Chain A
Amino acid sequence: MKNKKITLIIFIAPAVSTFLLVFIYPIIRTIFMSFFYVKTVTDNFNKWEFVGLGNYFKLLNSSMFIQSLKNIFNIWIWGGIGVFLIAGLFAVILTGKGIGHKEKSFFRAAIYLPNVVSAVAMATMWIQYAFNSKFGLFHSFFSFIGLEKAASFQWTSPDHQFFSMTIAYSFGMVGYYLLIFMAGIEKIPSDYYEAATLEGAGMYKKFKYITMPLLRDVLRTSIVMWSISTVAFFIWSQMFSPLDPDVGTITPMVYMYNLVFGRNLTLSDPALLNSGAGAAVGVLMTILILTVFGLVNLFIRQKELEY
């Protein structure tokens, strides 16, 4: 018995110590750092200057930080609704009876494809080849069908670039959630649907009374994952505004990046660097995710379902 315990410890120790070192230590340090003015991440502790909640107040007073929160909220809600609806619709169609095995595999792969391509390449493609108002895809398409006004729409101007960025980002995410939803639907035993069909239920009724309730857990996980990826929204924003953040594309992660590392092209005033405030952004974002997680658990209760 004793021997077993020692073996257990020996085997668990590397994982646990790595976890403590790589996750717990940075988390504690970040929380701690958020109460100090720290110019650069690697500054010695004796250079830290205690400011209490100063960093947090500074963030909440910053119009750009508030704007960044608004932006991710809008991506979360509108992008989320769009992605989940489209992914859900595709999932129902692709798991339906009317589609053959080959077609199913093809569409699943095709819709998932954007996830395989690097976000940097995807963003470049969208910005330069889809949104370009001179030779972009949308321009050509709308010109072709004679909608001149739509063809000259300026997708990436300051007023519209948030909208464009959300569309481009969501486009790629559909495939990811499609796979999750499809896996969820395929797990539901086909007898339920057969019985419902015999009773005369249509596609909509089957979706509403069988698929939806039984997908509850999948949906819950998906919402949490969508929230996490939205809070971590960074690459697309950087691709749309590579040098300085713009009102339409700033997100908390970009705001944090600029606080910690400064501007991309030339140096910003070193006095503006504040890793402590950057850490505070990190803490706030963690709290945000935990809140969403809590709310999701509250509203979409986990039910013990067996089938």
Chain B
Amino acid sequence: MNVKKTGVLLIVVLLVITIFSSCGGGKKEAASDNTPAVELVYWSMWNETEPQAMVLKEAIKDFEKQNEDVTVHIQWNGREIRKTLQPALDAGTKIDMWDEDLERIVKTWQSYSLKLDDYYSKEYPSTAGKKFSDTVMPSLQEHLRKLSTDGGLYAVPYQPYVVAVFYNKDHFDKAGITSVPETWDEFLAACEKLKNAGFTPITIDDAYMDLPIGLHLNRMLGEPSEVEALVKEGGSKWDDPRVLQVAKDFEELASKGYMSPQVADNKWPAGQQEVATGQVSIYFLNGTWLPNEVMATAGEDFRWGQFAYPKVNGGVNKNYETFGAQGFQISNKCTNPDTAFALAAHLTTGKWDKELSVKTYGAPMDTSMPWPKQIAESKPIFENIDGFIPWSGGLAADPDVFPIVKAAFTKLLSGKITAEEFISEVKENQ
């Protein structure tokens, strides 16, 4: 009897499962009953609840309204897309477009994607009579071409960012600093004024600790390839007096008491909070997403300012910066590339580009759009860029040496070791 009961129960459960699962399938079928002329599948790098996703969702709805024959199926992957996209593409899953970090998508998935040069030269409803290429920052287009193996355009950028020094304008005003520092000496002078005014001048988190040393080395040596040589070849490369000078510059920051005492201990976002709560004046280096990340603490009226990393004494000092963007890529197997590009254009120019910028306090892609007030001072930095410095300035080129440099630099910046000790610590462990 009991066995029978269990059996019946099992069958009921199975039935329920079957009914429910067929319900799910039924919905999809109902949608395809209308047989729209064009169906696009978009794999997104955002989670559905993120502000970016919410704007994109609205924008896509708007696109579908304007083009009634188009249906866009969105899959919100979140950053897991870095791992899931390629297996899916290799397995032949129909994915017409996807997005992720611009550098990543071009370098990793160029062979899966469509070359977009022809599409860039056309006009779209959201570009207000201009060619699409006229709406994209030239530095980003050049960057895209350099990333690809054949100099082509393999992505549509959006949400550009640049790495800059962030500061609290109120603190600068109170300390009597009238113009942002452009050279290292001016930077030290500004720190001195801040300190005299009772502020802790600088802080940073472990997550961004590699940026100051990477950028400083680039200012000094000129090209990212020379910084890469430090970690790749090692040894005597570190004996270069210019490298010692770089270390000495940071040693001075520590010895003069300009660094936050908890800088070595800062686990992201502890350092960001130091700046957002007004305890520290300068966040050494961060991406233009910083105001958005600390918005809940700092508030909308926090007076953010930015300046490019200063020129260093005795350095080559090129106008190179670390910058990037997110980007859409269109599959080379996409059967409706025109519609897919039109959608990408719809999302990255005009109304929706602005909306995204406003909702995330981030930079707009369209050159004709204003930048949010929190990062307005980053716009000229972006416009002056002559070249690209990879994240960490090239120090991450050797994953074995990079963590050693980073750990030693943290100690240097917090005043635990001297410049000479920094060099020897890196050399010994390399």
Contacts and interface: CB of A to CB of B under 8 A. Distances in A.
Contact of B267 (A40, A127, A270): A127
Contacts of A41: 87
Interface stretch (A89-97, A151-159, A297-305): A151-159
A246 interface: yes
Q: For chain A, what secondary structure do more than half of its interface residues adopt (helix, strand, loop), or is it mixed?
A: loop
B82 A246 contact: no
Contacts of A134: 262, 270
Nearest to B324: A266
B410 interface: yes
A40 B107 CA distance: 13
B411 interface: yes
A269 B397 contact: yes
Contacts of B264: 154, 157-158
Contacts of B311: none
A227 interface: no
B210 A42 contact: no
Contacts of B107: 267, 270
Contact of B270 (A63, A128, A268): A128
A88 to B, nearest CB: 32
A155 B101 contact: no
B87 A242 contact: no
Contacts of B401: 63
Interface string A250-268: 1000000010011101111
Interface in A25-42: 40-42
Among B265, B407, B414, the most chain A Cβ lie within 10 Å of the Cβ of: B265
Given A42-B87, A157-B414, A242 B268 contact: yes
Interface residues of B, number: 39
Contacts of A158: 264, 406-407, 410-411
A244 B396 contact: yes
Contacts of B324: 266
Contacts of A236: none
B239 interface: no
B309 to A, nearest CB: 17
Given A40-B86, A266-B391, A246 B397 contact: no
Given A64-B403, A247-B407, A267 B265 contact: no
A131 B264 CA distance: 13
B90 A267 contact: no
Contact of B265 (A154, A240, A243, A258): A154
B206 interface: yes
Contact of B399 (A240, A243, A248, A258): A258
B262 A270 contact: no
Q: For chain B, what secondary structure do more than half of its interface residues adopt (helix, strand, loop), or is it mixed?
A: helix
Among A41, A157, A240, the most chain B Cβ lie within 10 Å of the Cβ of: A157
A63 B400 contact: yes
B93 to A, nearest CB: 12
Contact of A243 (B207, B407, B410): B207
A132 B270 contact: yes
A229 interface: no
B4 interface: no
Contacts of B206: 156, 241, 246
A272 interface: yes
Interface in B8-61: none
A235 to B, nearest CB: 15
B407 A267 contact: no
Contacts of A128: 267, 270
A286 interface: no
Interface in A1-25: none
Given A156-B265, A158-B407, A266-B390, A62 B82 contact: no
Contacts of B267: 127-128, 131-132, 156, 240
Given A157-B265, A247-B403, A63 B396 contact: no
Nearest to B391: A266
A159 B262 contact: no
Interface string B258-276: 0000101111101000000
A250 B429 CA distance: 16
A133 interface: yes
Chain A interface residue bracket vs B: 35 or more
B90 to A, nearest CB: 4
A154 to B, nearest CB: 4
A175 interface: no
A261 B83 contact: yes
A197 to B, nearest CB: 46
A245 interface: yes
Given A156-B265, A158-B264, A263 B396 contact: yes
A250 B270 contact: no
B85 to A, nearest CB: 10
B86 A42 contact: yes
A246 to B, nearest CB: 5
B255 interface: no
A77 B108 CA distance: 40
B404 interface: yes
A267 B400 contact: no
A272 B265 CA distance: 30
Contacts of B406: 158, 244, 246
B146 to A, nearest CB: 14
A46 B414 CA distance: 51
Contact of A64 (B266, B399, B410): B399
Interface string A116-154: 000000000001100111100000000000000000001
A62 B399 CA distance: 9
Contacts of A267: 101, 103-104, 107-108
Contacts of B91: 42
A244 B210 contact: yes
B265 A265 contact: no
3 tightest A-B CB contacts, nearest first: A157-B264, A154-B265, A158-B407
Given A63-B404, A128-B267, A248-B407, 15 more contacts: A63-B429, A154-B262, A155-B265, A156-B265, A156-B266, A157-B410, A243-B207, A244-B210, A244-B402, A245-B403, A247-B403, A261-B82, A262-B82, A266-B391, A267-B107
